[in-house]
Structure 1
Amino acid sequence: MSNKYSAMRTSLRTAAIMIIFTVVFTAVMAFTYDTTRPAIEASVQEEQMRLINEVLPPDSYDNDLLADVITVAGAQALGPDDVKRVWRARKSGEPVAMILEAAAGDGYAGRIAFIVALRGDGTVIGVRVTNHKETPGLGDYIDPKKDRNKKQPWISQFEGVRWSEVDRAKWAVRKDGGTFDFHTGATISARAMTGAIARAVAFGVERADALFSAESGSKL
């Protein structure tokens, strides 16, 4: 009985120690999360604004862009992912531009994520790739940071293009009878991006009223 009692007492002591450890560890993790969360959120917002500023001049709007955002679910025109964000830019309360989150699912190495800024008249202000796995030194020129032509990166050719001024069939690379340039030997990446940009721009133009009138924070 003595050995049995001793074993039970040891088991209870071990269980108690584990419970205490779990409680203390959880409390420490919760404290660490609460302490670091503001810095993490600030860092995320700073990165979002850095990307946004690359495609939309800060002096072109006066609203809080990160607060004036909605999400769009199940819009295949914006790519294969389920939910995308749309930031709305306004000046003196009037809509001036939107930034759409989109993706091409048919890049050479798979998904290519990007954002495109679009004026109210359907003019592309800028496009930036935000994530991709295209072949280094070959298809990654779609990202201006990787494009060797720093003076006029491939992605910059979309700037200033108005949706209504280019026939829908011409929103393609020249190899496919379209308007836009590509790099010889690396057509797939450019083709995927050009098609995805066309679909995103068409979605923004066709749904502009609904996108701008939706309540901030809502999901369409």
Structure 2
Amino acid sequence: MKKAPIILAAVVLSAFSVTGVALVAVTHHLMDGRIAENQRIAMQSKLESIIPDGQFDNEPLEDLIQVSARDLLGAENTRVYRVRKAGEPTAVILDPVVPDGYAGPIQLLVSVLRDGSVGGVRVLYHHETPGLGDKIEERKSDWVLSFDGKSLSNPTPEGWAVKRDGGEFDQFTGATITPRAIVQAVKNTLIYVQQQGETLFEPAEGVTTAAKGAG
């Protein structure tokens, strides 16, 4: 039996195998890049939605630090996006975790303006019950917008609770645990920012603080 055809067949099969692996690797790389870019765009949109118009000209996604304050922010590490206009601080946006949601942890975005008031709150992810706890999503109800403009003095400390607990924030019919936990998480975020003050804007190595379009 001649060995040449067998060797040729083996070479051809090997070539197809290598080509297939290479194509899969290239496709995977391209898809990873596209997914990452889509995620970046989605996050940028969320950040911009809770910053008042005209209040920034930097790139908050690039101007960020990580802090550790589990007691107030719910996780070992929390991102802080710094918002600036003409180089001056105007707000910070944090992504605290609500550890005690009804169906598990909930991650938020909370912007705190320079005057200590809430610029906006958005939900990044959750596992709450559809039709009940998922009303924390902006697309499901306007409940999350009730935080806009609030601060540690508005309402009073007692007012930072759901109405069932004597506070000013609505709860959902059949779902009190979720809004109760989020109200507390937003309040805790305000407390943290108040405690840290201007230190949240101190320069960090590798952080981009230039205005959009500069250079």
Q: What TM-score, normalized to structure 2?
A: 0.80
Q: CA deviation at 1:128?
A: 0.8
1:35 to 30, 34, 41: 30
1:51-87 per-position Cα deviation (integer Å, ceiling 9, x unaligned): 112212352100112111112235331114x322111
Q: CA deviation at 1:96?
A: 0.1
> How many pairs were matched up?
202
Where in structure 2 are the equivalents of 1:74-153 lying within 5 Å? 74-80=69-75, 82-147=76-141, 153=142
Higher helix share: 1
Identity level (%): 37
Letter in 1 for 2:151: R
Distance in 2 between residues matched to 1:18 and 1:83, nearest whole Å: 49
The corresponding residue for 1:201 is 190
Residues 91 and 113 in structure 2, CA contact (< 8 A), matched pair in contact too: yes
Q: CA deviation at 1:170?
A: 2.8
1:57 to 41, 52, 60: 52
1:190 paired to 2:179 = yes
Q: CA deviation at 1:122?
A: 0.7
Unaligned runs of 5+ in 1: 1-15, 148-152
Which deviates more, 17-26 or 161-170? 17-26
Letter in 1 for 2:122: R
Distance in 2 between residues matched to 1:216 and 1:32, nearest whole Å: 34
Letter in 1 for 2:104: G
Which deviates more, 154-163 or 205-214? 205-214
Letter in 1 for 2:52: P
Q: CA deviation at 1:202?
A: 1.1
Letter in 1 for 2:44: M
Distance in 1 between residues matched to 2:95 and 2:200, nearest whole Å: 13
Distance in 1 between residues matched to 2:57 and 2:23, nearest whole Å: 41
Residues 52 and 119 in structure 2, CA contact (< 8 A), matched pair in contact too: no
Indicate how the Cα distance of structure 1 residues 23 and 112 shifts in structure 2: closer, same or farther if over 3 A, else same: same
Unaligned runs of 5+ in 2: 1-10, 208-215
